[in-house]
Chain A
Amino acid sequence: AQSVAQPEDQVNVAEGNPLTVKCTYSVSGNPYLFWYVQYPNRGLQFLLKYITGDNLVKGSYGFEAEFNKSQTSFHLKKPSALVSDSALYFCAVRETGGFKTIFGAGTRLFVKA
């Protein structure tokens, strides 16, 4: 069965500093990996996905993520954080050929001015 782990409940970073939100996964076969962001009382906004190809995936709002197969990780990164990036971030995984997307527990990002 597929699973996703986000080991940090919360990440705090100062504005202008780089940020990393961690994600590891477990699937049988090759994964499809996703990052979503959620603002209070709002639905999910898609940030980026890895299907195949380059391990470094660039997404919306300056975010990027690196797929590392040997470490089964898909960490979300941004070179310079903004206060407006403060939100709840979800990593998600789907098995290749599968239909269910499973979400991690979420990591709350606080960016301090």
Chain B
Amino acid sequence: GAVVSQHPSWVICKSGTSVKIECRSLDFQATTMFWYRQFPKQSLMLMATSNEGSKATYEQGVEKDKFLINHASLTLSTLTVTSAHPEDSSFYICSAGGNSGMVYEQFFGPGTRLTVL
């Protein structure tokens, strides 16, 4: 399958600062990028879906002004957590989606652990 990378793999920041997480699809044209968050011992919750060059579509309950998503190219998406607070501490996982032949495929990044102090 395709390789999806995330940077950084972990980050610690102070409350009130903003943090940017990059998601790169290294060998796959990702027409769609998905961002999930995972709290400890819980499942992955879809935060938003973005199509290349378009605004992201956010799931119910996710603040679009707090979690800024940019999908400028078929290989790069960024998630910026603005004015981070301790409750934003979580594991953030991106996923690259697109057509591979006749099948729509989705590949996951390794995740970024965010800790807000």
Q: Does chain B have a CB within 8 A of A43? A: yes
Within the complex, the shortest CB–CB distance from B10 to chain A, in Å, comes to 9
Contact B103 A101 (CB under 8 A): no
Contact A44 B108 (CB under 8 A): yes
What interface size band does chain A fall in? Answer: 10 to 19
Contact B104 A99 (CB under 8 A): yes
Contact A102 B1 (CB under 8 A): no
Contact B110 A100 (CB under 8 A): no
Contact B108 A99 (CB under 8 A): no
The distance in angstroms between the C-alpha atoms of A101 and B95, with both chains bound, is: 10
Within the complex, the shortest CB–CB distance from A45 to chain B, in Å, comes to 8
Contact of B46 among A90, A102, A104 (CB under 8 A): A102
In the complex, chain A residues whose CB is within 8 Å of the CB of B36: 103
In the complex, chain B residues whose CB is within 8 Å of the CB of A106: 42-43
Q: In the complex, what residue of chain A is closest to B111 when comparing beta carbons?
A: A43
Contact A46 B1 (CB under 8 A): yes
0 or 1 for each of B66-92: is its CB under 8 Å from A? (1 = yes): 000000000000000000000000010
Contact A43 B108 (CB under 8 A): yes
Contacts A/B (CB < 8 Å), 14 sampled: A43-B108, A43-B109, A43-B110, A43-B111, A44-B93, A44-B108, A46-B108, A51-B103, A94-B104, A94-B106, A101-B34, A101-B106, A103-B44, A104-B43
